[in-house]
Amino acid sequence: MNTYSRILFVCAGNTCRGPMAATIMQQFVQDMGILTDSRGMVVLFPEPYNPKAVAVCAGHGMIMPSNSAAQLENTDFDNNTLVLVMNQSMKQKIYESYDRAINVYTLGEFAGAGETEIADPYGRGIDEYNQCFEQLYVLIEKAAEIIRKNMEEEKDDSNRQ
C-alpha cells in the first residue's frame, strides 16, 4: 500500500461532501504531515461552500476553511495523492474522463466498507447534512487508521533497511 502526502476528496459540486470530508480528515492526519483538500466533478464557477455543511462541521467543533468550489483537474493526480470519491459512478467517471487518474477509490472501498455510497444532502434539511457528516466521520476515521498504519509500516520497513 502506498503512503500519501495529500488526500483529495471529490464530490459533485465541491460545496458540501468533499469539503466536509476534507475538514474531518484533517482532524485525523494533521500530525502526519498530510494535506487534505477537495474538488468537484462539475464546478461551473467558484461558489462558496454550502452554509449548512459549514454549520454542521462547526457544530462538531470543526472549522471548514473558507474556500470556494474548485474543479477537479488532470494536474490533481499524482503518485503521492490519494483521491477519495463518494460513490462508484464518480470513480468510474474519473477514470473515463481524466487520463492521469491514479489512486482513486470510493471512500467506502478505501475504508473497508465495500460499496457504501455517501448520499448528497444538497437541497435537504440540516438533519440530512448531519447524517451525511456522521457517515463521513465513521468512514474517514477508518480510512485514517489505514493511512496511519501504512505510514508506520513504511517507516518500520525503512528503519530495517
Q: Known catalytic residues?
A: 11, 17, 120
d(CA 20, CA 14): 9
Find, among 155, 140, 111, the residue nearest to 21 by Cα. 140
148's CB contacts (< 8 A; 6+ apart) are 28, 29, 32
β partners of residue 81: 6
d(CA 76, CA 93): 15
Q: How far is CA 93 from CA 16, 30, 35, 38, 72, in A?
A: 19, 30, 24, 17, 12
**Count of CB atoms within 10 A of residue 11's CB?**
27
Distance of CA 137 to the CA centre of its chain: 11
